[in-house]
Amino acid sequence: MMSAPVGTWLDIGPTTQIAPGTARTLPVVGGEEIAVFHTMRGEFYALVNSCPHKQGPLSQGIVHGDTVTCPLHNWRISLRTGEAQGDDEGCTPTIPLKVDSGRLFLLREAVIPSGKPKAA
Amino acid sequence: MNAPTKLPQPAKEKLVVIGNGMAGCRAVEELLERDPDRYSVTIFGAEPRVNYNRIMLSPVLAGEKTFDEIVINSAEWYAENGIELVGGDPVEQIDRQAKSIIAKSGRVEPYDKLLIATGSDPFIIPIPGNDLAGVVTFRDLDDVDKMLAAAQQGGDAVVIGGGLLGLEAAHGLSLRGMKVTVVHLMPALMERQLDEAAGYLLRQELESRGQTILTSANTKVIHGVEGKVVGIELEDGTKVKADIVVMAAGIKPSTSLARSADLECERGIVVDDNMVTSDSDILAVGECVQHRGTCYGLVAPLWDMCRSLADYLTGAPNGYEGSVTSTKLKVSGIDLFSAGDFSGGDGCEDIVMRDAARGVYKRVVLKDDKIIGAVLYGDTADGNWYFDLLKKEEDVADIREGLIFGQAFASGGALADPNAAVAALSDDAEICGCNGVSKGKVISCIAKGAHSVDAVRSTCKASASCGSCTNLVESLLALTLGDDVQTGPRTLCKCTSFTHDDVRRLILEKELKVIPEVMQELHWTTPEGCASCRPALNYYLLCAWPGEYEDDEKSRYVNERLHANIQKDGTYSVVPRMWGGLTTPDELRAIADAAEKYGARTVKVTGGQRIDLFGIKKEDLPAIWGDLNAAGMVSGHAYGKALRTVKTCVGSEWCRFGTQDSTGLGVKIERMTWGSYMPHKFKIAVSGCPRNCAEATIKDFGVVCVDSGYELHVGGNGGIHVRATDLLCKVETEEQAMEYCAAFIQLYREDAHYLERTAPWLERKGLDWIKSQLFDDPDAIKNYAKRFRFSQKFWQVDPWANRAGGAHKDLHSHLAEVRPLSMENA
């Protein structure tokens, strides 16, 4: 079992706002947009909303199992690890997410860029 | 001295147990087994009765068992073991300072060790009306009594919650004669234990037993009259009549007593590996605890916990390490088993077996050659075997090939190789049940030259119907031919052994109406399909069942889901429809305004005679559509596997060479065909004379007007492989041109593979075949066109107007926005 990451958790609202099999986005000022996925099996994952290939918005891909297929060039990205599947190589950063009492939480430290915010 | 005198004994430690349920009693049993003399035990129970098997309440409700049959420990047991049972007197307070508890009756009981086993409470959904008479939970015998009383009156029951408990309650009430509706918040039943495929089979079975299942259904309010429940209302306004409402939406650990004593609690009472709470003299066990971050709601972990607790209390701690759980649904006649982790993931492999004829679905999830999860439906005989392998983390590499066929098969030595198992079959063994084909017959058919699955199917029919014996036929091919097996035509995708044609044919033959049904009946090897087959199945179903099939947005590519074209930077382009390439100053003004208002960075005239606005943000799409709608424009479907555009030249109205009103005909054809989904994009053009300014001869369907009528051309393409059209026929009137256009489109829609343009389709099928389909039967054109027009009734709705009106807001809006702390503070 993975040890729970340490940090503060950012409440991003109720689980019901993301229908199963879909994803929604969370822009981060000064950072990279995050995609929050809800699989058909009821699990939630958060990744940077950017394919390692050509930065396609993964949130708009088709979700199957715990994989999303990028809408731009059909790379398959694991929602668990962010790793490209099959013959493709690359990795999208993931953001620790937990579900508690019907609400979604992201690890704040992973969401907010540690360095200086990029110029807006 | 008649009074009996007790021999002096070493003072026993005093153990007080709060909770006379399964956990509390089991813990005491385990203790007694290890050291019967160590503790003097007092058990406090809230219910005024002895300990019974709570998980068997479902069979009691269903009338399959009586209360006496589910009692675990009778009154004699307590007496024999010197245990004092204080029933019907719940503990209300723990005084940690004084090391005593205070019960409701006022009784104070001191303890050396205290064990909290308060279990869990039903989760009461916080909605209006949840306190009405007739709203019950499903937790103890009193609840069962209330449900039985209600069932005697007959009428309607609503069960809120489609999990294990809810479905068991629904089953019981249904057997007791009530009309039951199950209302479940999530899209699939028992979504925590089952994957989509098994959930679908379960739903089918329950519905066939007369239950109504409402999924993705959020209960908004429970209505009552004079304090008594009369029905529920869902978020979407649906109302369901109810004489009784059972809340079975889940449980939560019962922690209030522990919290009031300031013991550390999160979701449950936090315990260490010895089940000790934050107070070293207080222990906790069962559903009320949280161990290593996990709260359990099943019975098996409870047994494990009680063992560890007893080991610790008798001075031989071994530490509880958490439990792997399995689930069986206690609904008679439904065999369902799930265990472990079946959500998949990296390095995980699925082995899936589906047998539609028997209604069986089996899925075993492997990781590093070990079983980590299993879902079985219809045939759970091997559930315990899989669970055993899972718990023992046994390496299954050697039996992997035959694993899915179960223990008997996989353990059968040489038979673990499926080919060997097939080879061992006698010649008269039946291979294909649907068509009654024996092994000998298949082999002789292979010997006569059928060297592929498809060839076998077309000669002796084995595996040609339900397909469940395809793997047997493949084995026979391999056995008979060795390496000479011809791989058949390409399958639809890696999830299936069927081709596009097979799938389309079987959807119609077997009347398959939804994606999970197709996957089950056609033995899909993945639980949810993939990004290739899902859009294909969605199209095949909407083509097969117009007006009936509900489009599955999750199975659409992004462009069709967002009704705009995604661009490489993640923004979208928007193309309003211009009928036949015609526009007006007002429309152009509205387009110009929209381009400025929404910051279109590029405005381009397309090859299809319309205007494309680039760089529109996902969030702005509904608003820009609203503006374009207001100027009378609708979606151009420039993003769809659909009718794109009808390109025209100016024709006889202006052109000195024009022979017919090509613009007018183009507009009419576009009005007839817009909104239609196709296997791939579809382009039409109408040229007013053979100079062909509208380039009709590189379109999917092209009309070239001539003096004497209209030439109809098909199968052209201006893409990578430029292909000029073939002449289909010549007709005399506009009406005929339109009728033939509709018929050709429908033939393409009904026959082509998903993502196959008309050009490769025509080359694959041949122009003669297409002509014979359309012209051999004098009614064919009329019938195809009629089916096309019928389907259009459901699709000529502007998708932009829907979205602009607020539909699917979630697809266009962000969840929230995050700002860095430094900026938050600024």
- Greatest CA separation for chain B: 136
Best of A64, A100, A103 to disrupt the B interface (most B CBs within 10 Å) is: A64
Q: What is the pLDDT of residue B724?
A: 93
Residues 539-598 of B with CB under 8 A from A: 553-559, 561-562, 566, 568, 570
Same domain? B793 vs B671: yes
Looking at beta carbons, which residues of chain B come within 8 Å of A100? Answer: 267
Strand A9-14: give its sheet, edge to edge: A9-14, A103-107, A97-100
Domain boundary among B416, B443, B467: B416
With respect to residue B809, please indicate whether it lies within any of the assigned structural domains.
no
Split into its structural domains, chain B has a count of 6
CATH number, domain of B615, equals 3.90.480.10
Residues 39-78 of A with CB under 8 A from B: 39-43, 54-57, 60-66, 69, 71-72, 74, 76, 78
With respect to residue B322, please indicate whether it lies within any of the assigned structural domains.
no
Task: Please list, in sequence order, all residues whose beta carbon lies within 8 angstroms of the beta carbon of residue B586, skipping any fewer than 6 positions away.
Answer: B631, B632
Same domain? B62 vs B85: yes
Location of structure tokens 């209030």: B256
Note down the domain range covering B453: 423-552
Contact: A72, B568; criterion CB under 8 Å: yes
Looking at beta carbons, which residues of chain A come within 8 Å of B816? Answer: 12-13, 26
Helix (H, G, I), strand (E, B) or coil at B797: coil
- Comparing alpha-carbon positions, the chain B residue that sits nearest to A56 is B570
For every residue of B447-477, DSSP letters joined together read HTT--SHHHHHHHH-TTSSS-TTHHHHHHHH
CB pairs under 8 A between A and B: 133
Give me the helices (H) in B660-699, please.
Answer: 662-673
With respect to residue B529, please indicate whether it lies within any of the assigned structural domains.
yes
Same domain? B33 vs B110: yes
With respect to residue B729, please indicate whether it lies within any of the assigned structural domains.
yes
Q: Which of B408, B73, B467, A23 is nearest to B457 (CA)?
A: B467
Q: Which of B647, B663, B735, B738 is nearest to B697 (CA)?
A: B647
Give dist(CA B762, CA B680) in Å, integer. 13
Encode pLDDT of B781-803 as tens digits: 999 999 999 999 999 999 999 89
Encode pLDDT of A73-87 as tens digits: 888 999 999 999 887
SS3 content of chain B, % helix, strand, coil (to 5): 35, 20, 40
With respect to residue B109, please indicate whether it lies within any of the assigned structural domains.
yes
Asked if B349 has any chain A CB less than 8 Å from its own CB, the reply is no
Helix (H, G, I), strand (E, B) or coil at B351: strand
Contact: B186, A41; criterion CB under 8 Å: no
Same domain? B438 vs B410: no
Contact: B187, A20; criterion CB under 8 Å: yes
Same domain? B574 vs B598: yes
Same domain? B503 vs B430: yes
Minimum distance, in Å, between the CA of residue B531 and any CA atom of chain A: 6
- Comparing alpha-carbon positions, the chain A residue that sits nearest to B526 is A65
Contact: A55, B218; criterion CB under 8 Å: no
CATH number, domain of B200, equals 3.50.50.60
Best of B560, B818, B821, B824 to disrupt the A interface (most A CBs within 10 Å) is: B818
Same domain? B182 vs B262: no
Closest Cβ opposite residue B530 in set A10, A56, A64: A64
What are the structure tokens assigned to B626, written together?
């609203």
Same domain? B182 vs B238: yes
Looking at beta carbons, which residues of chain B come within 8 Å of A22? Answer: 553-554, 810-811
Give dist(CA B567, CA A72) in Å, integer. 8
Same domain? B244 vs B157: yes
Closest Cβ opposite residue A61 in set B292, B345, B558: B558
Looking at beta carbons, which residues of chain A come within 8 Å of B558? Answer: 60-61, 71
Strand B244-247: give its sheet, edge to edge: B135-137, B244-247, B156-160, B179-183, B212-214
Give dist(CA B784, CA B791) in Å, integer. 11
Contact: B531, A64; criterion CB under 8 Å: yes
Please report how the helices B780-795 and B767-775 are oriented relative to each other, as an axis angle in degrees rounded to 10: 90
With respect to residue B522, please indicate whether it lies within any of the assigned structural domains.
yes
Q: Which of B505, B440, B494 is nearest to B467 (CA)?
A: B505
Domain boundary among B532, B552, B572: B552
With respect to residue B326, please indicate whether it lies within any of the assigned structural domains.
no
C-beta separation of A2 from B292 below 8 A: no
Same domain? B394 vs B345: yes
Q: What domains are defined for chain A? A: 10-111 (2.102.10.10)
Looking at beta carbons, which residues of chain B come within 8 Å of A25? Answer: 618, 814-815
Domain boundary among B552, B576, B593: B552
What kind and span of H or E run contains A106?
A: strand A103-107
Minimum distance, in Å, between the CA of residue A15 and any CA atom of chain B: 11
Backbone angle region of B702, left / alpha / beta, with phi > 0 → left and psi within -120 to 50 → alpha: beta
Q: What are φ and ψ of residue B225, in 5° steps?
A: -125, 125
Weakly modelled stretches of chain B, pLDDT under 50 = 1, 3, 5, 413-416, 822-826
- Comparing alpha-carbon positions, the chain B residue that sits nearest to A37 is B815
CATH number, domain of B442, equals 1.10.10.1100
Same domain? B660 vs B786: yes
Same domain? B245 vs B134: yes
CATH number, domain of B683, equals 3.30.413.10
Give dist(CA B645, CA B581) in Å, integer. 8
Please report how the helices B734-751 and B780-795 are oriented relative to each other, as an axis angle in degrees rounded to 10: 80
Q: What are φ and ψ of residue A110, in 5° steps?
A: -85, -25
Enter the ipTM.
0.83
With respect to residue B824, please indicate whether it lies within any of the assigned structural domains.
no
